[in-house]
Structures are given as structure tokens and as C-alpha cells.
Amino acid sequence: MTVREFTPLVFAISASAGFLGALTGLGGGVIVTPALTLLLGVDLRYSIGASLVSVIATSSGAAAAFVREGFSNIRIGMFLEVATTLGAIAGAELATHVPTSALSIIFGLVLLHAAWQSLHPIPQTPATEIADPLAMRLKFEGTYPTARGPQHYRARGVKTGFGIMFGAGTLSGLLGIGSGALKVIAMDQAMRIPFKVSTTTSNFMIGVTAAASAGIYLSRGYIDPGLAMPVMLGVLAGSVLGARVLIGARTRVLRLTFAIAVAVMAAQMIYNGFPK
């Protein structure tokens, strides 16, 4: 395959990944890494390096639109990012002692349950209810635009959400995967934050985490500009389009898309966990 054939193909795959990543809050790396490795035969390390760049592009492209439209909750995102960062450090320390094959299978099963649970959401907490005292002290509330006007919400289960975020960061450090799925689950299911706010805030958080990891891969020479550039541009274009679609999309459709994407990722994790 020539460069002229390879580059447009990478761009098309990356654009699709960015579109799905913006809609679901998973980040485009969920699709980019396996696609580059399995379909195009790119070395895994370089695929991960390009994937990290794509995740930053997804977050940058989609998050800007989401913040401008009033969906993302930056206050909640920055607080929960502390948990994922601490978890990632712990996961990196445990990586040499815990068999990742078993964790991969367990994680896949957890994601399958999460995909099912996404289609059977917990009813949102009415704005008139008394919120979690910790959430009130931290001012974890806000509004997001709907067809009926701005909708107010208050977070609940801050401690539970923080714990899940720590677990997401730990698994990310152990398995070298993105933790966007668990971030959405923590905010949507545990903290009762509206689904659109959960996915958009997840997009914002993913970029913060990926930036640190990308620096490490860059220092080790695993980011090839010839590969990373079409991936970044493709994901950026797809994420901007996905952000526009999400604003007017129905929550039920978003939940179904999220469930399908997570189920596919779960199957991949379980498959990779079994000895070859």
C-alpha cells in the first residue's frame, strides 16, 4: 500500500472514530488503536501513540463545542480528574505484579454489564430534591440546554463516583486502555448527572489524561508524525461533527450508541484476556 492510499484510509477511519468518540464520551482511541493494528498492520506501540494524539484531538475538538453550548461541567470534570490521575499512578505501579490477562477479562465483563445498564438508566434526581451534602459543598450542580429550555441538575454520590474514577484510572494504568466508558458510567449511574453532561464532561477529562501519556510516548519515539497527523486531523473533523450531532440527538439514541460501542470494546477485552 502506497502513502497516497494509506493516508486517506487512516483519515477516514480516524474521522469515524472521532465521530463516535464525541457522541459517546469514549474518545476516538477505542477504535483507532485496534483499527490501525488489525486492519492496517501498524505496530501496536505506534498505534497507541497515534491514538493518544487522537484522544487529545477528540477532546479539544468536541470539548470546545460542548463548553460553548453549555453541556460540559468543568468543575466536576477537574475534581474527578484527580481520582483518575491517582488511579493511573497506582495502576502503573501494579502493572508488573498483577496478571493483566485476568484483569482484561474481568474488565470486559464489567463493561458488558455497563452496556446493559446504560439501556436501563436510573431515574434522574429531580432538581428539587436535597442533593448529596458533599456535592452541595463543592457546588456540583448546573444547567444544560434542552428543547424546553435550560434544565437544572444536581450531582449525587460524589464519593461513589470518585471511587469509580479511581478504578477507571487504575485499569487504564494496568491495561493501557482509555477509561472513557467508566467515566461516563460513574457520572451517569453513580452521580446521577444527565447523560449528555456525562458524555461531554468525559470528553473534556479524557484529553487531560491523554496529554500526560502522550508526552511519555513522544519521549520514547513512538509517535510518528506521518501516522499521527492524518489520525489527528481525521479525529478532529469527526469529533466536531459528532459534537454538533450530539447537541440535537435524543438521549435514547446516545445510550444505544454508547451500549453498542462499549459491548464491542468489552468483547475485544475478553478476547485479548484469553491465552492465544
Closest alpha carbon to 47 in 180, 182, 231: 231
- For the segment 17-31, what is each residue's pLDDT rounded down to a tens digit? 878 777 776 666 667
- For the segment 85-121, what is each residue's pLDDT rounded down to a tens digit? 888 788 767 766 777 677 768 777 877 876 786 676 6
Whose grid coordinates read 459528532? 242
Per-residue pLDDT band at 176 (split at 50, 70, 90): low
What pLDDT score was predicted for residue 68? Answer: 81
Task: Calculate ∠ Cα 23-29-34, nearest 5°.
Answer: 120
- 95/48: higher pLDDT: 48
- 45/9: higher pLDDT: 9
What pLDDT score was predicted for residue 128? Answer: 47
Per-residue pLDDT band at 127 (split at 50, 70, 90): very low
